[in-house]
Amino acid sequence: MNTDKNESPMTQILADLKALAIGFATTFKHLFQKPFTEEYPEYKRPLPARSRARIILTRDPDGGERCVACYLCSAVCPVSCISMQSAEQADGRRYAPWFRINFGRCIYCGLCEEACPTAAIQLTPDFEMCKQDILALVYEKEDLLVDHGGKDKQYNFYQYAGVVTDVGEKGTHIKEEKPVNIRSNLP
Ligand code: SF4
Ligand code: SF4
């Protein structure tokens, strides 16, 4: 309603009628438009690959677990919902014997994915994770680990990283220079 006290009652009535007419015209216009209704869950709209929902742990192209249990994702997580234990295999590769995410606390910010040096932890568009039992939202490693590389299928951390494993000594990885002999710099 128009509340300008300087206007005459007739002007106010006309202004209010005009506002009503504009509102009804908008409603009337939509009566003849095709409805845009998506019948969820029968139809699931394809979401962009970068949508942030259920988290997975991915694998190298050779099938190895990418996670090296470096704790970076756990450290950066603003709600502290990632926990794990680190260990080392006989060939020098680090891995997480157990890895846990509490999705009851996760806010799907994506910071863990940003921090991960091995592209192991990735968020996916799968948002259908509702559970009645909140403890069922605690996912263990076997719930998180998938059999593919996710968004970056070809990346293999141990082919690039300067760590000694069966894959190669320091200085033998892709684009990696030989280690500097610091003794050669001594006077
Ligand atoms: S998406 Fe954010 S809140 Fe969820 S586990 Fe990753 S860092 Fe933590
Ligand atoms: S998921 Fe990535 S950031 Fe987290 S511990 Fe494993 S390698 Fe490190």
| Pair of tokens at residue 119 | 């592209």
Question: What letter represents residue 171's amino acid?
Answer: G
Any ligand 1 atom below 6 A from CB of 56: no
Q: Which residues pair with 100 in a beta bridge?
A: 83
Per-residue H/E/C for the chain: CCCCCCCCHHHHHHHHHHHHHHHHHHHHHHHCCCCCCCCCCCCCCCCCCCCCCCEEECECCCCCECCCCCCHHHHHCCCCCEEEEEEECCCCCEEEEEEEEECCCCCCCCHHHHHCCCCCEEECCCCCCCCCCHHHHEECHHHHECCCCCCCCCCCHHHHCCCCECCECCCCCCCCCCCCCHHHHCC
What is the structure's pLDDT at 185? Answer: 78
What is the structure's pLDDT at 4? Answer: 59
How far, in Å, from the CA of 55 to the mean position of ligand 2?
Answer: 12
Question: What letter represents residue 97's amino acid?
Answer: P
The b-or-e profile of 162-184 (16+ CB within 10 A means b, else e) is: ebeeebbeeeebeeeeeeeeeee
Q: Considering only CA atoms, which of 158, 172, 63, 169 is closest in space to residue 117?
A: 158
| Nearest ligand atom owner, CA of 98 | 2
What is the structure's pLDDT at 5? Answer: 62
Q: What are the sequence ranges of the domains in the chain?
A: 1-36, 55-160
CATH assignment of 55-160, among 3.90.320.10, 3.30.70.3270, 3.30.1330.100, 3.30.460.80: 3.30.70.3270
| Pair of tokens at residue 69 | 């249990």
CB 111, CB 52: distance < 8 Å: no
Question: What letter represents residue 125's amino acid?
Answer: P
As a whole number of angstroms, the distance between CA 84 and CA 75 comes to: 11
What is the structure's pLDDT at 3? Answer: 54
| Nearest ligand atom owner, CA of 123 | 1
**Nearest CA, atom 5, ligand 1:** 106
What is the structure's pLDDT at 149? Answer: 95
How far, in Å, from the CA of 105 to the mean position of ligand 1?
Answer: 9
For every one of its 187 residues, what pLDDT tens digit does the chain have, with 9 covering 90 and above?
Answer: 445 567 788 999 999 999 999 999 999 998 888 888 899 999 999 999 899 999 999 999 999 999 999 999 999 999 999 999 999 999 888 999 999 999 999 999 999 999 999 999 999 999 999 999 999 999 999 999 999 999 999 999 988 887 888 888 888 888 888 888 888 877 7
What is the structure's pLDDT at 104? Answer: 95
pTM above 0.85, yes or no: no
